[in-house]
Chains A and B, each alone.
Chain A
Amino acid sequence: GEDVEQSLFLSVREGDSSVINCTYTDSSSTYLYWYKQEPGAGLQLLTYIFSNMDMKQDQRLTVLLNKKDKHLSLRIADTQTGDSAIYFCAERGSQGNLIFGKGTKLSVKP
């Protein structure tokens, strides 16, 4: 079956790095995604990685993919208070939809 698991909470200090982890079950997933949701808002696509890649970097964001362990992580460098949000990991499902994790709430303390 298709399932995505994430830890529910992460708290970091401003200026530190944040690492949000995710595991998925469908080894045939071609794309894996990270979305950000701020309170009362929709989901914003942050980045995505193709399954034949190990790493993707985009400014302060680094995505690491370990396909053998079906593990995906999102690292945010120099975390700011504006990064406080819920972060969703998602894999592409068999119906072309996205299978989401329950989200990790990132709290950034000044």
Chain B
Amino acid sequence: NAGVTQTPKFRVLKTGQSMTLLCAQDMNHEYMYWYRQDPGMGLRLIHYSVGEGTTAKGEVPDGYNVSRLKKQNFLLGLESAAPSQTSVYFCASSPTGSEQYFGPGTRLTVT
């Protein structure tokens, strides 16, 4: 099993550009999450999904959208990137909503 994978690993965007981050898991987990990690802030939840076709807002959802069309994939979209979205983005999945397994992260810089 590859576990949780994220694409891309690194990206640089200009302000106003859009992009989609892809998270994939091969563990048949129902729950998937997107977090951002900023220096001195720990990890904060952006959006999450409790199953295929469902999404919900987390602590810091503004400026992001998500989709869960297939159980194994969870996409995070930035429609109009801003410098405040410069961060490291982590995806996680969970079988039951308790323990979560994380991907390696995507480092995004918005200039």
Binding site for B on A (CB under 8 A): 4, 30-31, 33, 35, 41-45, 48, 88, 92-93, 95-98, 100-103
Contact = CB atoms under 8 A, between A and B. Distances in A.
A95 B34 CA distance: 13
Interface of B: 4, 31, 33, 40-43, 45, 48, 50, 56, 58-59, 90, 92, 97-105
Contact of A45 (B48, B101, B103, B105): B101
A102 B41 contact: yes
Contacts of B40: 102
Given A88-B43, A95-B58, A43 B48 contact: no
Contact of A96 (B4, B42, B50): B50
Nearest to A43: B102
